[in-house]
Amino acid sequence: MRRPVTNLTEKRIRDLALGSGIHRDEQVRGLMVICHKSTKTYAVQGDVRRNGRHVRTVRMKIDRVDRMGLNEARRRPRA
């Protein structure tokens, strides 16, 4: 099931309810905010491919929202 993609902003992230699930960014492919029960986390997700075939999907935590800004989180997956 694909999650809806939204234009994440600092205000929208602050307003996200805890426990509301995954919210994907439309500007950086694979970037998302995961709203857990007690915290919000930036994460990035991508596919691993070998010889053009999908092997698996990998998700990696970047950092908590209260420790890092959105601009820094958008730079991380590109690096």
Interval 35-68: pLDDT, tens: 999 999 999 999 999 999 999 999 999 999 999 9
pLDDT confidence of residue 76: 85
Q: Which residue has the higher pLDDT, 79 or 39?
A: 39
Per-residue b/e over 36-55, b at no fewer than 16 CB within 10 Å? eeeebbbbbbeeeeeeeeee
pLDDT confidence of residue 77: 76
Predicted structure pTM score: 0.86
Check whether domain 5-78 has CATH 3.40.50.150, yes or no:
no
Per-residue pLDDT, averaged over 16-36, amounts to: 93
